[in-house]
A and B are shown apart, each in its own frame.
Chain A
């Protein structure tokens, strides 16, 4: 398995501002992903974070709103830009560790509240 950390663990932000969430894994992962979990709902994939190139976004998510970086195998960031209250969610990163098959392990999540 992999140990995945995220920071911040939670934040309260004002409308119109941006927040960058960091995700660090303790071992090399083959794939990293970012998910959103809105209150009372299941997880929705935002994008696949690709090392050294642009992320691959799912339908309904765009780079201008959710820019993602992955400069190396063990680190990725997700920025939530120009936030509105509708962006209040838990944001989770996950990784698939090489050699583990394709189990996906999740970070502890970042609970974002936008006022």
Chain B
């Protein structure tokens, strides 16, 4: 059975800290791994990763995929209170479906 596992499930940090969120997966017919940020309702797209070892970066956020070890990490540097959210990892298969992890709830304290 396909599964995506995120860790930690929750995390509390202070502004300025750097955090690393983890996502491991076992999915047949892997096509891509996606990261989303969910604050209230709709997940907003952050990154899509398809190739190992190529870092994707957007401002203070970056992510990388290891297809051999079947995991990805999402790094957030110099965290701000506005980074507080649930971060979702999802793996897409060849059929276009996404399998989501449980999410990591990040809380950034001032």
Interface size class on chain A is 20 to 34
Residues of A within 8 A of B97 (CB): 33, 45, 48
19 additional A-B pairs beyond A43-B43, A102-B48, A109-B41, beta carbons within 8 Å, are A1-B45, A31-B96, A42-B103, A43-B100, A44-B100, A90-B41, A92-B42, A92-B43, A101-B32, A102-B32, A102-B96, A103-B48, A104-B90, A104-B92, A106-B42, A106-B45, A107-B42, A108-B41, A108-B42
Interface residues of B (CB under 8 A from A): 31-32, 34, 36, 41-45, 48, 88, 90, 92, 96-103
Judged by DSSP, the binding face of B is strand
Cβ–Cβ contact B103 & A101, under 8 A: no
Number of A-B contacts (CB under 8 A): 56
Q: Which of B31, B36, B42 has the most CB atoms of chain A within a 10 A radius of its CB?
A: B42
Evaluate contact between A43 and B88: CB separation under 8 angstroms. Answer: yes
